[in-house]
Amino acid sequence: MPTLIQHEPDSFDLDYFLSKYSDRYGVVSREQNILQLKPMPFAFNPSQYAPAKQLHYFHVPSQPSLTNCLCNKYHTYFTSKHHTLEISRPSTPTPNPNTPTPMDITPKQYQKLQDQIPKSPVKQNTTSLPPFPFNYDTENTATSSTNLNPLDQQIPITAHSHHVHTCLVCHKKNIPCVFLSNRKHSLQSETVLKGFPVHSECINNIQIKPLPQSKPLTLTQQNTFYFIKFSLMSSDQKKVLFKSALRKLAKKPLLKRDTSNDLDWFKTFPITEEMEQNTQLNIQVSIKLFNFLKPNLINFTLGKILKPASKDTPASKSNFKYLIKSMARQCPDFLTDLILNANPNIDKATTIPFDIIFSTFKSLLSKFTIILFTKLNY
């Protein structure tokens, strides 16, 4: 049935109407029996609501859409099994195509209208679906076709799933949407914000009110804030800022660090004449270990917080022991092959305990490091 404009619109079958009454202007419903929608008589095209007769007229669209009655008291959605209808609706023949035919309909004539427009055959149960912002398809577009090319990123709609959303700015419930076959929303072209139902003309009316800061900014938030602030500065403002920073830097006393206990690497591990010729690893296990270590060392950051501090425990930070254990947990093939070859009596299907994997990897890494810095021209 048509519903009051303040309520969720009901839906009727547009395909049924166009297949049988494409030569009619629309449908009519009576106030006393608003549950029914009947096709208007042929060539009848009302332009206003007749309150004395309590008849509500709806001009049926040629595409699935939300439609109000002429008095804007009721509305309903005409849905289709197609996303859009490719064949345009033929014009209704009238004596004068430029002027609506001056006809009227009485309650008795309304009673003689036998056929009724059926409701949409599929009723969407939106309560079982996630809320719109978490169930919106940003990658695919809606289509009516079922013979699709996956590269086109098109998904057929669920038949008769047309519905509307409320604009977040003007609060008018008239933004068209459909459900795709993957049970996700797909907004129509009238909206421009992905994931948010907002009219394109309402974008400029969005008012953003900053909230008061309730907790200190994180390091990422601080970096973002200063980056935006610096980007908005003019050239003169940037020059003043740099000069101020340089003056403060010049006044700041330099902290001298005790370097007496620092390791002089090249003095401790010098490259001798004997080592200069050894420029490549020639053992297969050493090559595999070296290639395994490179990406792990590149992605490692000493002191990185792995788990924030709580009331009872301090923050957990990455260290070299954590790095070695995390690499051992990856169980590279060369490591497990080395253990199984050294223990031929062990069934290859047996799960190797992590203690053995860890101790073997640590021993192998220690020998590799010694050879790398004492035998090879690193």
DSSP string, 288-335: HHHHHHHHHHHT--TT-EEE---SSSPPEE--HHHHHHHHHHT--HHH
Place of tokens 């509305």: 75
Residue 350 burial (10 A CB sphere; 0-12, 13-18, 19+): exposed
CB atoms within 10 A of CB 198: 22
Whether the full predicted model's pTM is greater than 0.85, yes or no, is no
Contacts of 320 (CB under 8 A, 6+ apart): 302
Decide: helix, strand or coil at residue 185.
strand
155 membership: H or E segment, kind and range: strand 154-156
Q: Which pLDDT score, from 0 to 100, does residue 152 have?
A: 56
The predicted-structure confidence for 289-306, as pLDDT tens digits, reads as follows: 989 999 998 888 888 888
CA distance 262 to 116: 92
> Both tokens of residue 61?
């669209």
Contact 185, 135 (CB under 8 A): yes
Are 162 and 176 contacting, i.e. CB atoms less than 8 angstroms apart? yes
DSSP β-ladder status, 10-13 and 74-79: parallel
**30, containing H or E segment:** strand 26-30
Q: Which pLDDT score is estimated for 189?
A: 57
Where are the chain's structural domains? 3-112, 126-202, 265-374
Strand partners, 141: 154
Alpha carbon distance 339, 342 (integer Å)? 5
Residue 178 CA to residue 144 CA, distance in Å, equals 11
Give the separation between CA 227 and CA 222, rounded to whole angstroms.
8
Which sign, positive or negative, has the C-alpha torsion 77, 80, 83, 88? negative
Q: Which residues, given as ranges, of the chain have pLDDT below 70?
A: 1, 87-104, 123-141, 144-153, 188-195, 378
Query: For the chain, how big is the Rg over CA atoms in Å?
Result: 37
pLDDT for position 15: 87
Which residue type occupies 109?
Answer: Q
CA gap 328, 157 in Å, rounded: 49
